[in-house]
Amino acid sequence: MRHRAILVALVTASVVISGVAQERNADTSLERDSPHLQSQLVGTWRLISRVVTTPDGIVLRDPGLGATPTGYLIYDSSGHVAVQVMKTDRSSVIDCSLSTPAPSNNSQSVNGYDAYFGTYTIDEANHTVTHRLEGALAATDVGKSLVRHFQITADKLAIIVHTSSPQGEQIRTVNWERVH
């Protein structure tokens, strides 16, 4: 029961922080450095697909979030980010153990759920966005800086994550659609 209360508290905190951040009118370097890409990135995005491959293109099974996770990604105009992603067929039994360490440049899922919040900055020249984690479902993720390559076309956002795991190098392509 305690683990369920912790999970509910984290989800609630993420939603509250996202709402508060949207209300702030903060002056950030993000607004000065990348106004064009930032204006395209700002909004709420719904997860369409998440595919993990090797550099050779072999599709890997993701035990943490499964083949068809669901979730939302929120970027606000003052430089804050919140992410929540869930395995669609996760167990109703709560297991908060971290069976494997999170790959580099990635956050850790717990019981088929991953969530974090913090700030973001855009490197327009390299087409990357860096998420700086202020809070996360897994305590070991707090303080991480996660670098993601991204592409925006109309109302579609593709985030490409290059990471490694005990099984080797991985490329994670996460596709989102803008929520209207």
Nearest to 86 by CA among 63, 61, 109: 109
Handedness of CA 123, 152, 60, 83 (dihedral sign): positive
CATH number at 2-178? 2.40.128.280
Supply 16's token pair: 């509250």
What pLDDT, on a 0 to 100 scale, did the predictor assign at position 9?
43
- Say what the pLDDT of residue 103 is: 61
Report d(CA 7, CA 85) in Å as an integer.
13
The C-alpha atoms of residue 60 and residue 176 are separated, in whole angstroms, by 20
pLDDT at position 96 is: 67
Q: Where are the domains of the chain?
A: 2-178
Whole-number pLDDT of residue 17: 45
Q: Report pLDDT for 98.
A: 59
135: Cα within 13 Å, side-chain hemisphere: 19
Give the pLDDT means over successive 10-residue stretches in the chain (180 positions).
Answer: 45 45 41 68 97 93 89 97 95 68 74 95 95 94 95 96 83 96
